[in-house]
């Protein structure tokens, strides 16, 4: 992931509007990519089938639009990430450069999978999502700020109230969403406790 700081209280980046309801995880990353052994390279195939026609030629799709190249805040509509629970979907978005999502609503499992990658899935009203998409479409260089601490999304002079499950919001703000990182940062304590356990000492000696 591009951002190595585990604290995700404030995320800034250019927006990318994706106007569609009920975008399922198979649309985000087609099932054939679930066969990959690692998540490496998934970003290049985000929305693969929507971005190309039957002959493999580019469709008119926001992820193909050069105006949004480098954008990191994906602005969506209702029930984004529905369908299967595949974690490949947020992995593909993250590896495509997306650092935050803003939308009317998200599938519960999808938003949970996003949090495990440090990706906020912030909810705004339907009207606010549509207005934010319009603002970004009119000015692709506009910086969008997702402020989880302040509970708002900002774009230019506009401000929009955001909501998300409180446990997810707190984990992202505090940086505790990265359980593996938290574990590795306490390696010395883990080794100390492990060395005091008789069965661990026996295993080491064996």
Residues 147 and 186 in one domain: no
- Please indicate, yes or no, whether residues 204 and 125 belong to a single structural domain of this protein: no
| pLDDT tens-digit map of 112-134 | 999 999 999 999 999 999 999 99
What does the pLDDT average to over 12-38? 95
- Which pTM value belongs to this model? 0.86
Please state, for a pLDDT cut of 70, what percent of the chain lies above it. 90
Looking at the fold, whether 20 and 36 belong to one and the same domain comes out as yes
Whole-number pLDDT of residue 183: 57
Domain assignment of residue 206, given as a range: 178-206
Q: Above 50 in pLDDT, residue 1?
A: no
Domains identified in the chain, total number = 2
Mean of the per-residue pLDDT values for the chain?
A: 91
On whether residue 1 sits in a domain, the answer given is no
Do 206 and 118 belong to one domain?
no
Q: Which CATH number do you get for residue 41? A: 3.20.19.10
- What mean pLDDT comes out for the span 69-85? 96
Residue 178 has pLDDT above 80, yes or no: no
Same domain (yes/no): 154, 206: no
Q: Which residues of 149-185 are buried (b: 16+ CB within 10 A; e: fewer)?
A: eeebbbbeeeebebebeeebbebbbeeebbeeeeeee
């Amino acid at each position: 992931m591009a951002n190595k700081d585990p604290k995700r209280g404030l995320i800034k980046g250019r927006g990318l509007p994706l106007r569609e309801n009920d975008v399922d995880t198979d649309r985000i990353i087609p099932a054939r990519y679930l066969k990959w052994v690692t998540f490496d390279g998934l970003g290049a195939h985000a929305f693969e089938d929507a971005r190309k026609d039957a002959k493999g030629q580019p469709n008119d799709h926001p992820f193909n639009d050069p105006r949004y190249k480098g954008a990191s805040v994906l602005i969506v509509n209702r029930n984004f990430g529905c369908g299967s629970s595949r974690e490949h979907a947020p992995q593909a978005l993250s590896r495509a450069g997306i650092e935050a999502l803003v939308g009317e609503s998200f599938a519960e499992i999808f938003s949970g999978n996003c949090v495990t990658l440090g990706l906020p899935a912030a909810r705004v009203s339907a009207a606010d999502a549509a207005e934010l998409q319009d603002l970004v479409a009119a000015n692709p260089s506009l910086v969008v700020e997702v402020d989880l601490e302040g509970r708002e999304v900002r774009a230019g002079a506009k401000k929009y109230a955001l909501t998300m499950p409180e446990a997810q919001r707190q984990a992202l703000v505090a940086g505790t969403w990265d359980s593996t990182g938290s574990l590795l940062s306490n390696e010395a304590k883990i080794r100390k406790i492990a060395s005091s356990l008789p069965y661990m000492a026996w295993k080491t000696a064996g």
